[in-house]
Amino acid sequence: SQQGEEDPQALSIQEGENATMNCSYKTSINNLQWYRQNSGRGLVHLILIRSNEREKHSGRLRVTLDTSKKSSSLLITASRAADTASYFCATDARQAGTALIFGKGTTLSVSS
Amino acid sequence: NAGVMQNPRHLVRRRGQEARLRCSPMKGHSHVYWYRQLPEEGLKFMVYLQKENIIDESGMPKERFSAEFPKEGPSILRIQQVVRGDSAAYFCASSAGTGAYGYTFGSGTRLTVV
């Protein structure tokens, strides 16, 4: 079953605008990760936020985590056409020996 | 550092044949994961392996599918007697450990069953 659900399913913006994607999950987690997938390619790890962290930055990426609401958001600032891709959140459940569970993703289109 | 290597990139099989998908993890990574992705969908977890051990196969169909990660050589995902519904992209990922480790993904194997 899917642990994370991203919202919106699809997002279209202009270059230079900010893009915000949200992720909700169901069970307690150790950490939450965001990945990016360009069409037809493998996923690329973007950022990891631990359950005891509230916010993390990496370049133009900002991730927040609210464990009380079981939700996370990924903000991409000053978007570029090259940011066009699908973005997935993945959660690492507290149970030992479990693999990351991925959501269905948000498809971001950035037009120039 | 070659990253995670998957082969073949594309695989076409007739119904009833066997499909073997290979994955060599990133150097230094001993944890391997297989995921399946259908068009316009997210990744569905299939199986998690360490060297010579299956840790979690809860996402793997009970019949026709098997996976191994031998002491020497790549991890293999094997699908016997393939059916059209097995057509998908199969991704392998590896990590250095569990917990706060990101996964490194391969480019995937696109299986088409005709």
CA gap A6, A23 in Å, rounded: 4
Of B42, B56, B93, the CB nearest to A97: B56
Instruction: Write a three-state SS string for chain A.
Output: CCCCEEECCEEEEECCCCEEEEEECCCCEEEEEEEEECCCCCEEEEEEEECCCCEEEECCEEEEEECCCCEEEEEECCCCHHHCEEEEEEEEECCCCCCCEECCCEEEEEEC
Mean pLDDT (whole number) for B20-49: 93
Q: Do B42 and A41 touch (CB under 8 A)?
A: no
CA gap B49, A87 in Å, rounded: 25
Predicted confidence at residue A1, as pLDDT, reads 46
Predicted confidence at residue A96, as pLDDT, reads 63
Selected for mutation to probe chain B from A45, A50, A88 (highest B CB count within 10 Å) is A45
Checking if the pLDDT of A2 tops 60, the result is no
Checking if the pLDDT of B41 tops 60, the result is yes
Q: What percent of chain B has pLDDT over 90?
A: 84
Q: Sorting pLDDT into bands at 50, 70 and 90, what band is A19? A: very high
Mean pLDDT (whole number) for A80-96: 89
Does a cis peptide bond (omega within 30 degrees of 0) precede residue B70? no
Residues of B in contact with A104 (CB under 8 A): 41-42
